[in-house]
Structure 1
Amino acid sequence: MCGISGIYAFTPEGREVIHRLPDSTDALQLRGPDSGGHFTHGSVGLGHRRLSIIDVSNVACQPMVEESERYTIVFNGEIFNYQELKKQLVDKGYSFFSQSDTEVLLKLYIEEGPSFLSKLNGFFAFAIYDKQEEFLFVARDRYGVKPLLMYQDDDKLVFASEMKSLMAFGIPRQLDYASLYEYLQLNYIPGPASIFKGVKKLMPGRYLTVSKVGEVKIKRWYKIPYNEKTAKNNSLSYEDQQKQLVELMDGAVQRRMIADVPLGAFLSGGIDSSVIVALASRHTQQLNTFSIGYKDEPFFDETKYAKLVADKYKTNHTVFSLTNNDLYEHLFRALDYIDEPFADSSALAVNILSYYTRQKVTVALSGDGADELFAGYNKHMAEYKVRQGGFVAETVAALLPLWKMLPKSRNSALGNRVRQFQRFAEGMNLSAKDRYWRWASFATEGDATSVLSGKAKNALSKDVYKKRRQKILDNLSKKGDINEVLLTDMQLVLPNDMLTKVDLMSMANSLEVRTPFLDYKVVDFAFSLPQSSKIDGGMKKKIVQDAFRPMLPEELYKRPKHGFEVPLLKWFQNELKPMIVDDLLSDSFIEVQGIFDVKEIQRLKAQLFSQNPGDIHARIWALVVFQHWWKKWM
């Protein structure tokens, strides 16, 4: 796991920017604390920061140049089937000077060109430069596990693993108001857009090429192979589907245990991480597992379930039991690392878990991706029930006025249930596309509009926003089933929220996180399954729960699903109150900044500090993150 940056200059003015490559690379130091390097040739520069995982010797450092010195690579990620691919190349006469997957990647490209991408099992963002042809090839993995941002103008194209690295090249920092509008609803910014006009994210499953005449092209090399008719008519029995899932997951976990450094696994006490630990325990004598517990928040503490799994598999288990003060102490470390507004508050918990885990291991396995693949979220059950209809669904919808009146909170079982009932009732009367967007959001379009100043509303292009939204929701229809919702999740929620969160917070702590559920063989299999294998009226993530039930403690099946929460509301009303009232959301700062409406911010603050704040803290958090980002970077 590493960080990369690079530049391809088209003009003499562009070449003057190449001298900033070391600054751009240094901005990625936490992603790669072990070593760094640069390569320049004419109009091209490549930079790399290294976190040593496979072949930790100096010979595997990057940028890596192959023997003829024609090709150079910078690579962020891991290729888990590299040994198998290396053998194929050796059989064709290739020799190797390192034991790294980087060299295999480089020589496979030399042998096969862009078509080799489909052979890779892993996650990655990398760039390869052909000195002879003055040709640059940049690629990103299938699902967006590893990030890649880019900026292009008449003089140059620059790219990097993080926004702060791009900013070191001196790119213009002009706010994209359509992105801000999306952020105020979703709490993150969907690709290919970014918070800055002109900065784009290379989308998952794409590659980019730059020729010596300055022609830039982007092509798609992977698409999830979902066919609604084929999935509905899957000929495998449900029992055989379960067996195949166990086999595929076992292979995915085993592949991800290759490392030349200490390795462990996150263990939350949920089904997904428990599955990973159960399978990983087959392939090692004693697995290191890690959980965080909340001393002050018993509603969110899941460590007793994690301990059941750890005891069953005799793992070397560590629980980091934290107070709210411990959590608070890490808050600004996380905020300072974020270089594009990102307000999924569970990132704070991932940051803390990564911080403590990194003190013991360099690589951690994670259960991320299972919910998006197999329908594990409450919104999936809600969508299923809307599409099924019936008396209960219609009754909940009819009681919308009652749900609006009752107090709501994520911090108690009853308050959270009322919150869910209200969201369900609001979604019942919407179209499939509008319902998906509403349930993916923390705020409505009206909420997002009302918080903007008159100047910001004038700068916002609703047409740009609508086109982006329409493209995101393109897979959803009236007649489809949950699989099309999951496909949309894989393209929106997974890369832009879940994987961004894990990448940001793990890299802030120089920890590599590997996600076996996102092995492409598992993903392709998941989208070959009918809806009935994933969800029914009583069970979410059905096939995962059923297939691994013999391996897991029964108590895991009798507990409610919790998100990875932190006590934001308590902080806002106590420790963070001065920062909100006197600084980030103060009337004077809002007026000078000119982005938000002063009166609407006052109203939100009044609700936050009232006896019935409801779910407002998620929206306040989005504003706090944005304001902190604005002060640091703008």
Structure 2
Amino acid sequence: MCGIAGIFNLDGQLIDRSLLQRMSESIKHRGPDDDGLFTLENVGLVHRRLSIIDLSAGGHQPMHSHDGGLTIVFNGEIYNYPELRKELRSLGQPFRSQSDTEVILQAYRQWGTDCLKKLSGMFSFAIWDQPQKQLFCARDRFGIKPFYYFDDGVVFAFASEMKALLLHSKISRQANEEIIYDFLNWGMLDHTENSFFAAIKQLPAAHYLLVSGQGFTLKKYWDFKVSREIYDSVEGAERFREQFERVIRRHLRSDVPVGFLLSGGLDSSAIVCMADEVEKKRSGQSPERRSTFSAHFPFTRLDEAPFIREVLQQTGIPNHFVVPRAGAFLHEMDNLIYHQEEPFAGMSIYAQWCLMREVRHQGVKVVLDGQGADEQLCGYRKFYYFYLSELLKRKQWSHAIREAASLLGSISFFLDLQLRQAVQRYSLFGSNRAHSVDFLDAGFARRYSGRELPLGYAGNLAERIKLDMTRFSIPVLLRHEDRNSMAFSVESRVPFLDHEFVEFLASLPFSQKMNSGWTKYVMRRGLSGVLPRKIQLRKSKLGFQVPEDAWFRKILLEPVSKTFRNTRFIDRFVNLNTLKKSFAADFGGKITRRPASFYFRFFILEHWARVFQVD
């Protein structure tokens, strides 16, 4: 894992090396182990290295091909690099290092842009092709690794984080009003290629771009379809176990210690337990270099310690508990905003921030996390609405009745607040929209209220799963994950988003994802004997959350009130009188009509603008 940045002056102007050096310094936290800089007339590339694979000087970047014609800066990990190196050697490509970076470079030499189809991993990179006078930039299939850019036809600049781009004199700090509208009105984040800065875009996931004096080309190189219904239930469970073991084995490849974020839920527990199985097969004993990291909220409904201990007892892997504190969040909020670079929707992000800090404190450089399983395996109760609709459309009456009956027998289903999301078919964003339009400045709301979000329509379960994977859920979670981990120079890996594994899960019928009131059905069956029984049969779902409403009342009431009284930015978008009166009414008594997360949007947007001195 690393940080990258670069500039391509299309007008031929020579590169300002001092600017590149400042850009590199701004993302030093992404790679404190080494740094490099390359310039060639009107092209410049910089790299910050976090050494994970091939710790020698052979992994130094920017890396050049043996003839000097190609130069790469790369952020991420290619998990199938040993297999690709072997294939490329057989085709006559030479290698001077053991790094996955050189594998990408030689793959591009061999296959051109089609090299992307060969790569399995998380990545963003840029290759300067001197013979073609062309910059080739690419991002992995789900956007696990970030790639931001600026292009005005004269200057093309890119970076892993926007703070590096904002150092360029041509890139303004003007806010993107459309994105602000989507955030305040819909609560949407990371749903388009646009950022909160009007001048900066992000390269979409599964896309590459070519930049040269002849123009700018953006192209999608991968996609997937949901539910081709290939496997029956027995074969599906067996294949799940085989595929999951393959994915975990690859994601454990590292020349430094690997740890795990463990919440006590099904997904993170599955990763830890399968990793334990893999290590025992490899060495005959549990891994000595592994550690788990968990957030702990004693004496609250969010306390998952009993489930976490089930995993620890079975595997014997050491654990480090972290207890996030409300007061500490407020103290660290500006630093969290600085690293996230864009507003976030709530305080639960802070639990992961605290975990990543502890990971680094314990000397661990790599962690595995469970992002992506809920969206693919219908882990959220909201998916049941779409599933029942599918069964009814297919006239599978008896099946629909059985599934509905299984839900009626589950008390937890009615206690689960996700049910409200499930029944909101026509308004995918719930009642928050109706609330927030009343709070927006009339002129601001009028300018953007007629604009449709480019999200597609979730008319069935397959579409909803894909939207969660590409627009609603995964993109913002991955941004949180990347920035939280990189703030502490930690590489976070997400095995459930291995693209071959995603394609396998997409091929399963919905009945293997939801069955008889059980979510993630195929995983529960496939990992029987791997997971502790108590985890395998667990239906409640929490994840890395904080007691947000309690924290809000405990520490944020006065800071939020003060912020609303002394705004410098949001007053151009918001009807402040309405906002302040509503906030006082909701939190001045015992009855709260709107959740804390609703007011948090306005609060965090104002502080984001202050941290980044937004125009």
When normalised by structure 2's length, the TM-score is 0.89
The question of whether the paired residues in 1 share the 8 Å contact of 2:54 and 2:98 is answered with yes
**Counterpart position of 1:403:** none
**Counterpart position of 1:198:** 199
Task: Quote how far apart the aligned CAs of 1:572 are.
Answer: 2.7
Deviates more, 1:282-291 or 1:37-46: 282-291
Q: 1:354 to 1:304 in 2, by over 3 A?
A: same
Structure 2 residue aligned with 1:247, among 242, 248, 251? 242
Matching of residues 545-556 of structure 1 within 5 Å: 545-556=524-535
- Measured against aligned partners, the alpha-carbon deviations of 1:46-73 in whole angstroms (never above 9, x if no partner) come to 1111111011122311111122111100
Matching of residues 192-271 of structure 1 within 5 Å: 192-213=193-214, 215-226=215-226, 231-232=228-229, 234=230, 236-271=231-266
**Counterpart position of 1:278:** 273
Query: What value does the CA root-mean-square deviation take over the aligned residues?
Result: 2.6
1:572 matched to 2:552? The reply is yes
Task: Quote how far apart the aligned CAs of 1:533 are.
Answer: 1.1
Partners of 1:180 and 1:152 lie apart in 2 by 21
Matching of residues 456-475 of structure 1 within 5 Å: 456-457=444-445, 460-463=447-450, 465-466=451-452, 469=453, 471-474=454-457
Partners of 2:522 and 2:549 lie apart in 1 by 36
Deviates more, 1:296-305 or 1:358-367: 296-305
Q: 1:419 to 1:242 in 2, by over 3 A?
A: closer
Partners of 1:88 and 1:259 lie apart in 2 by 21
Task: Quote how far apart the aligned CAs of 1:393 are.
Answer: 12
**Counterpart position of 1:491:** 470
Q: 1:217 to 1:602 in 2, by over 3 A?
A: same
Q: 1:585 to 1:537 in 2, by over 3 A?
A: farther
**Counterpart position of 1:409:** none
**Counterpart position of 1:47:** 46
Q: 1:524 to 1:393 in 2, by over 3 A?
A: closer
What is the identity, as a one-letter code, of the residue corresponding to 1:253?
Answer: I
Deviates more, 1:521-530 or 1:197-206: 197-206
Partners of 2:418 and 2:95 lie apart in 1 by 57
Q: 1:16 to 1:69 in 2, by over 3 A?
A: closer
What is the identity, as a one-letter code, of the residue corresponding to 2:455?
Answer: I
Task: Quote how far apart the aligned CAs of 1:108 are.
Answer: 1.1
Q: 1:632 to 1:177 in 2, by over 3 A?
A: same
- Measured against aligned partners, the alpha-carbon deviations of 1:311-353 in whole angstroms (never above 9, x if no partner) come to 1012122223455445555444323322122224321111111
What is the identity, as a one-letter code, of the residue corresponding to 2:606?
Answer: Q
1:599 matched to 2:577? The reply is yes
Matching of residues 508-547 of structure 1 within 5 Å: 508-547=487-526
Partners of 1:417 and 1:296 lie apart in 2 by 21
**Counterpart position of 2:187:** 186
Q: 1:115 to 1:593 in 2, by over 3 A?
A: same
Q: 1:15 to 1:340 in 2, by over 3 A?
A: farther
Structure 1 residue aligned with 2:442, among 447, 450, 454? 454
- Measured against aligned partners, the alpha-carbon deviations of 1:464-520 in whole angstroms (never above 9, x if no partner) come to x31xx2x3125x33xx4x222111111113442221111111111111111111111
Partners of 2:545 and 2:187 lie apart in 1 by 17
Q: 1:28 to 1:591 in 2, by over 3 A?
A: closer
The question of whether the paired residues in 1 share the 8 Å contact of 2:238 and 2:526 is answered with yes
Task: Quote how far apart the aligned CAs of 1:576 are.
Answer: 2.5
Matching of residues 349-428 of structure 1 within 5 Å: 349-360=351-362, 361-385=364-388, 417=415, 419-420=417-418, 422-424=420-422, 427=424
Q: Secondary structure at the match of 2:89?
A: helix
Q: 1:17 to 1:363 in 2, by over 3 A?
A: same
The question of whether the paired residues in 1 share the 8 Å contact of 2:85 and 2:103 is answered with yes
Partners of 1:118 and 1:68 lie apart in 2 by 25
Deviates more, 1:177-186 or 1:320-329: 320-329
Q: 1:314 to 1:519 in 2, by over 3 A?
A: same
- Measured against aligned partners, the alpha-carbon deviations of 1:356-398 in whole angstroms (never above 9, x if no partner) come to 1122210011111111111111221243345567899999xxx
Q: 1:95 to 1:558 in 2, by over 3 A?
A: closer
What is the identity, as a one-letter code, of the residue corresponding to 1:259?
Answer: S
Structure 1 residue aligned with 2:305, among 261, 285, 303? 303
Deviates more, 1:487-496 or 1:567-576: 567-576
- Measured against aligned partners, the alpha-carbon deviations of 1:105-153 in whole angstroms (never above 9, x if no partner) come to 1111111101111111101000000122211000000111111111111
Task: Quote how far apart the aligned CAs of 1:283 are.
Answer: 2.9
Q: Secondary structure at the match of 2:94?
A: coil
The question of whether the paired residues in 1 share the 8 Å contact of 2:403 and 2:517 is answered with no
Task: Quote how far apart the aligned CAs of 1:25 are.
Answer: 2.0
Q: Secondary structure at the match of 2:313?
A: helix
Partners of 2:578 and 2:56 lie apart in 1 by 57
Partners of 1:78 and 1:392 lie apart in 2 by 44
Q: 1:456 to 1:19 in 2, by over 3 A?
A: farther
Q: 1:371 to 1:415 in 2, by over 3 A?
A: closer
What is the identity, as a one-letter code, of the residue corresponding to 2:213?
Answer: K
Matching of residues 88-167 of structure 1 within 5 Å: 88-167=87-166
Partners of 1:136 and 1:220 lie apart in 2 by 16
Deviates more, 1:257-266 or 1:343-352: 343-352
Structure 2 residue aligned with 1:608, among 578, 584, 587? 587
**Counterpart position of 1:336:** 338
The question of whether the paired residues in 2 share the 8 Å contact of 1:604 and 1:616 is answered with no
Q: 1:341 to 1:371 in 2, by over 3 A?
A: same
Q: Secondary structure at the match of 1:169?
A: coil
**Counterpart position of 2:7:** 7
Q: 1:297 to 1:242 in 2, by over 3 A?
A: same
Q: Where does structure 2 lack aligned partners over 5 or more consecutive residues?
A: 280-285, 393-399, 406-410
Partners of 2:146 and 2:548 lie apart in 1 by 27
What is the identity, as a one-letter code, of the residue corresponding to 2:114?
Answer: S
The question of whether the paired residues in 2 share the 8 Å contact of 1:330 and 1:352 is answered with no
Partners of 1:256 and 1:80 lie apart in 2 by 7
Q: Secondary structure at the match of 2:156?
A: strand
- Measured against aligned partners, the alpha-carbon deviations of 1:574-623 in whole angstroms (never above 9, x if no partner) come to 322332122x222x426884221112211342213431225521112222
| Aligned length, in residue pairs | 589
The question of whether the paired residues in 2 share the 8 Å contact of 1:269 and 1:303 is answered with yes
What is the identity, as a one-letter code, of the residue corresponding to 1:377?
Answer: Y
Q: 1:144 to 1:218 in 2, by over 3 A?
A: same
Q: Secondary structure at the match of 2:518?
A: coil
- Measured against aligned partners, the alpha-carbon deviations of 1:260-288 in whole angstroms (never above 9, x if no partner) come to 11111111111111111111112333262
What is the identity, as a one-letter code, of the residue corresponding to 2:41?
Answer: G
The question of whether the paired residues in 2 share the 8 Å contact of 1:191 and 1:496 is answered with no
Deviates more, 1:385-394 or 1:270-279: 385-394
Task: Quote how far apart the aligned CAs of 1:189 are.
Answer: 3.3
Partners of 2:152 and 2:526 lie apart in 1 by 51
Q: Secondary structure at the match of 2:514?
A: coil
- Measured against aligned partners, the alpha-carbon deviations of 1:142-185 in whole angstroms (never above 9, x if no partner) come to 11111111111132111111111221123122222221121122
